Chains A and B, each alone.
Chain A
């Protein structure tokens, strides 16, 4: 039978280009630059029309954007929110509200836009995310919460954004968590896929930085077991991640970012004060006690002797 199936024939083969506005609040431009790292940028840009972007060629200059306040399919907002912060002479309170009410989807791009992030620290009472202020859903766009997709991270991995753009472009449903983060990206923990997982299982601590061996959770402050994000599934710059380069996860996708004392683990009676996500302390202690009672020679040796 050569007749096409009904399913194929109703699939739109070439959906219309998504019109995107990329607006910045209080930012370092880190998400803008992170997105430019996507090796499929050319393919992504073929499916969109940039009405405004801070660096790439686009339809409207910032001044024109503020004058016209055009409709769009997607508003990407990067940076923290402060009502009286201005772009091209217009206060963010009015600008964000106008653009957000005329768009179909809003992407909260990065931890500043999502929760306030690092820049909130400068003025905690005035600066927040667009939907959340730390954990609280009290941001200026709370009345439009259903339109918001949260992409937390400092910065956001470029493929996390291109995934959401693709899903919107193809009209697919995006399942989200309590902070409206896509579950397909944030149901994982940074711990998942870490090359040091076996050391975590057998409670073998890394004595120091700069080696391939040992888990960074016990002394070096790694927040991988408590942090949502697919950093060790969708690798950074295609090749690595913080933990793969021996650096502790700093919990940058969570509303609590940035915590303090980021390179040491807070302990209580030499047990980490913060448990891996969802693990009751009693279960952890039972397992840790058992694991520590064994000495696994292979895990106590250097991985590659020649390189020691």
Chain B
């Protein structure tokens, strides 16, 4: 039997076409995204710096990641063209602070608006609107705005640094907000301090956590899907470091192996706007779980050994990343040397011709921007978003990452819940 399921309350919508057997179990599923906006074409012919304003508008929840990908890409074009461009440690640190804020607020919204809400509904305990989570995600965005001027849709990072020139007033305010966010994570999300959380992973005691993460995991346990949702066990991280993991073996990744496959798109006679992103012709999972495994964070590596890439590991990895990013932001704020320049003017963009690439670890994984410019004007622009890696469509024998995780689920509802563990974003996938 074929059922078309409209998945809402993600970023945008997706349609899942399920093929089920007589018991209702999922035999196959196709993921379709029906909206397309043509961002890359909008950029062509413009001044390359205009991309710093246009690309954040790819996505309302991860636009800052697009900004950082664009600025990194333009700086790479400068270097490839043989021009000198320098970024101070301060500017780099500020970019990392604001980017980390975007990841943290994303993960909070996903945990409460999507995971807690949808799993709660399925066990008959639909929670009320998670105002406390929205309040704290707004706090995180405020921390970001102390440097970026606003969230969403800031354009404060330029080739050569950042536009802001903060004082200790902003740094002190940021540290206070960060303390509130950390308190929220301990008191509400985990129900314990971060050391006890790490210990509970190692002791295999996550289900006893008293916070909202514990509730989500217990909901999954009650539904019998906590250890389901396994995929290929292939992971990829291209921002910061470039590595892949296949069968728990880490190796260096090469960008030459990254490709896009448009065989399933409308243009090629298929039924989605999304192109698949592939590494060496194969599907790889990107995002918080991949990052945790590449960074060898103890808790998540332990969980992965015990439960593979199942729902429990994928969910906990995203929450664990909030904890680790808060610590990272605290360190960056504490070490920030305000006496360094915010911006070191590079040669004029009109003097630059060439190609470049910018890769950022966005909330959902590796985000790639590439462009070719001629005397500062964009000739071509290409974006590969994290969700193109995770939500691609393969065939029944070689399914995509989320496809494989859903196949075999007992019901369409359970498969749809597993789909949401990937933090689905349709606006990014089709841009």
Residues of A within 8 A of B (CB): 24, 26-34, 36-39, 41-42, 45, 54-57, 61-63, 85-88, 118-119, 121-123, 154-155, 208-212, 236-247, 250, 252, 258, 260-264, 304, 306-308
Contact = CB atoms under 8 A, between A and B. Distances in A.
B98 to A, nearest CB: 10
A34 B341 CA distance: 30
24 contacts: A26-B35, A31-B60, A33-B60, A33-B61, A34-B152, A37-B141, A37-B151, A38-B138, A39-B138, A123-B38, A155-B152, A209-B158, A210-B165, A210-B343, A212-B165, A236-B149, A237-B138, A240-B146, A240-B149, A241-B150, A245-B148, A246-B149, A246-B342, A262-B49
Interface in B324-348: 338-339, 341-343, 345
Interface in B27-75: 34-35, 37-39, 41-42, 46-47, 49-50, 52-54, 57-61, 63
Q: Is the interface of B mostly helix, strand, loop or mixed?
A: mixed
B427 A247 contact: no
Contact of B156 (A30, A246, A264): A246
Contacts of A210: 91, 160-165, 341-343
Contacts of A63: 6
A43 B215 CA distance: 27
A304 B8 contact: no
B134 interface: yes
B57 A118 contact: yes
Contacts of B117: 57
Given A209-B158, A242-B149, A262-B53, A28 B137 contact: no
Contact of A41 (B13, B134, B162): B134
B253 interface: no
Closest 8 CB pairs of A and B: A210-B343, A245-B149, A29-B60, A210-B342, A246-B163, A122-B38, A237-B145, A30-B60
Contact of B53 (A41, A212, A250, A264): A250
B397 interface: no
A45 B113 CA distance: 15
Contacts of A244: 149
Contacts of A243: 149
Contacts of B126: 57
Contact of B37 (A26, A88, A241, A242): A26
B129 to A, nearest CB: 5
Given A237-B144, A258-B54, A57 B339 contact: no
Q: Is the interface of A mostly helix, strand, loop or mixed?
A: loop
A242 B152 contact: no
Interface string B98-132: 00000000000100010001000000001011010
Contact of A258 (B50, B148, B427): B50
B54 A28 contact: no
A245 B163 contact: yes
A86 to B, nearest CB: 7
Interface in B381-431: 427
A304 B168 CA distance: 12
Given A30-B57, A246-B156, A258-B50, 8 more contacts: A27-B427, A39-B138, A155-B152, A209-B160, A209-B342, A239-B173, A246-B149, A247-B163
The interface centre, meaning the residue of A33, A34, A122 with most chain B CB atoms within 10 A of its CB, is A33
Contact of A209 (B8, B35, B343): B343
A33 B149 contact: no
Contacts of A28: 57-60, 63, 427
A240 B144 CA distance: 10
Contacts of B60: 27-34, 155
Contacts of A247: 149, 154-156, 163-164
Contact of B152 (A33, A62, A211, A240): A33
A307 B338 contact: yes
Contacts of B235: none
B344 to A, nearest CB: 8
B35 A237 contact: no
B86 interface: no
A163 to B, nearest CB: 17
Nearest to A263: B49
A308 B167 CA distance: 11
A41 B42 CA distance: 34
B42 A118 contact: yes
A42 B167 contact: no
B82 interface: no
Given A41-B134, A54-B9, A209-B161, A241 B149 contact: yes
Contacts of B137: 36
B264 interface: no
